[in-house]
Each structure stands twice: as structure tokens, then as C-alpha cells.
Amino acid sequence: MARYREANCKLCRREGEKLFLKGARCSTEKCAVERRQYAPGQHGQRMRRKVSNYGLQLREKQKIRRTYGLLEKQFHNYFKKADRKVGITGTVLIQFLETRLDNIVYRLGFAPSRKAARQLVRHRHVSVGGRIVDIPSYQVRPNEIIKIKDKSKNLDLVHAALKEVGRGEDLPWLKLNKAALEGELLEIPKRSDIPLTANEQLVVELYSK
């Protein structure tokens, strides 16, 4: 399966903001965005040219795609799926991405990053509705219970992630039970409740050309 294998910090620097791709490191002075506030590469410090409308649309698309850890084809497929559904296309797109199993595991605080959450799912440490699901892109439905399976409850990664202040407890569409290492998707999240600093309407404009 194809996946991004380069340095994650380069992605944050290219977008000019923290995408929280490396968990707790992103909140420390070691964060690459804090240390080098310019784009990566030989000419990164000299990139001061005016950005076109297309450039703005592209950057928003890349920001969202990289935040959720998707390849271009995967992201485009989500857009086409959102475009076919009734509702505001940009909002539906973000809702699809937010209700992916790997993202839900991350939002609940069971993993320090989406990449780590994807690995938990792939290695069969997570169950949904009482059955093991090892597909990160699985769309979680309202009222489904997401749980770390019993044999995996002693994983250091999970307990270290849960120690981060506020993780999994400040999102109104999720319910977390730390003691049982399980959570529930209460409803499809509203766009205003999703902590994502991106303008998805620009993505719609980009793909609608």
C-alpha cells in the first residue's frame, strides 16, 4: 500500500502551520514550525512571491489532505463521494474525514497522532461494535462503540496519549470512557465543532474547475 515516507515536519513547514502530525512533539520547542518558520528546501527562505487564487486553493487542499494523512487519489475519492451527497459539499467532505476510524481513535485520545492511530487500527488493537476492525478508512456511524481490545489495554502508547490534557474530552460529538478505554460517536459532527483551521470551500472551488 502506498504511503508517505518522508519527514512529517516538512509538511507542516510547507503549509506554514502545525498540522500536529507528530503528537506531543508538536507542542514543544522541538517543533520544526517553531524552529524554522519557512518552507523546506533550498529556496524555502526566499519564497515570498504573491500567491494566486489557484495557489490558495491548492494549499488549502494540501493542508486538509496532509492533516488527515491521505494520498491524492484517496482524498479526491472522498470529494467525489461528498459531492454526490445532499448538503454542503465542503462540510460533508470534512465530516467524512472526521468519521474515519483512524481519526476517531486519534480524537478520543488513544493515539498521539493520526499516523499512530492508523497503526493501532492496522495492528488489530481496535474494535467497533464488538468486532475487530483493521481498516483505518472505516466510516464510524453514530452510536457505535470504539474500544481498545482487552489484550491491548496495557499498550504504553495508548496510556501515554491519554495523559495529554483535554484529549478526547472536549469534543461534543464524542463520548470517552477512559477507565474502559472506549468511546462512542454520538452524532455526525457539525462543522463549527470540528477543530480544523482550513477553508474547505476553496477545495470545492479547486475541484469544480
> What tens digit of pLDDT does each residue of 76-92 get?
999 999 999 999 999 99
So what's the pLDDT on residue 99?
Answer: 97
- Structural class in CATH, domain 100-187: alpha beta
So what's the pLDDT on residue 132?
Answer: 97
> What tens digit of pLDDT does each residue of 149-170 get?
999 999 999 998 888 755 656 7
So what's the pLDDT on residue 196?
Answer: 87
Q: How far apart are CA 24 and CA 154, in angstroms?
A: 20
Ramachandran region, residue 118 (left: φ > 0; alpha: ψ -120 to 50; beta: rest): alpha
DSSP annotation of 193: G
So what's the pLDDT on residue 13?
Answer: 54
- What residues pair up with 176 in beta bridges, in sequence order? 183
3 state DSSP class of 27: helix
Ramachandran region, residue 176 (left: φ > 0; alpha: ψ -120 to 50; beta: rest): beta
Domain boundaries, the chain: 8-90+198-207, 100-187
Return the CATH architecture of domain 8-90+198-207.
Orthogonal Bundle (1.10)
Identify which of 47, 77, 75, 43 has the alpha carbon closest to the alpha carbon of residue 61: 75
Report how far apart the first and last C-alpha atoms of the chain are (Å, whole number): 30
**Nine-digit cell string for 169:** 474530552
Identify which of 66, 84, 100, 117 has the alpha carbon closest to the alpha carbon of residue 189: 100
Q: How far apart are CA 140 and CA 159, in angstroms?
A: 23
Residue with cell 489557484: 54
So what's the pLDDT on residue 111?
Answer: 92
> What tens digit of pLDDT does each residue of 99-147 get?
999 999 999 999 988 999 999 999 999 999 999 999 999 999 999 999 9
pLDDT category of residue 18 using cuts at 50, 70 and 90 = low
> What tens digit of pLDDT does each residue of 29-72 get?
555 454 555 455 544 555 566 778 888 888 889 889 988 989 99
- Residue 180 reports pLDDT greater than 80: yes
Which sign, positive or negative, has the C-alpha torsion 195, 24, 5, 108? negative
**Nine-digit cell string for 113:** 497522532
So what's the pLDDT on residue 1?
Answer: 46
Higher pLDDT: 182 or 48? It is: 182
Between β-strands 145-148 and 126-128, what pairing exists: parallel, antiparallel or unpaired? antiparallel
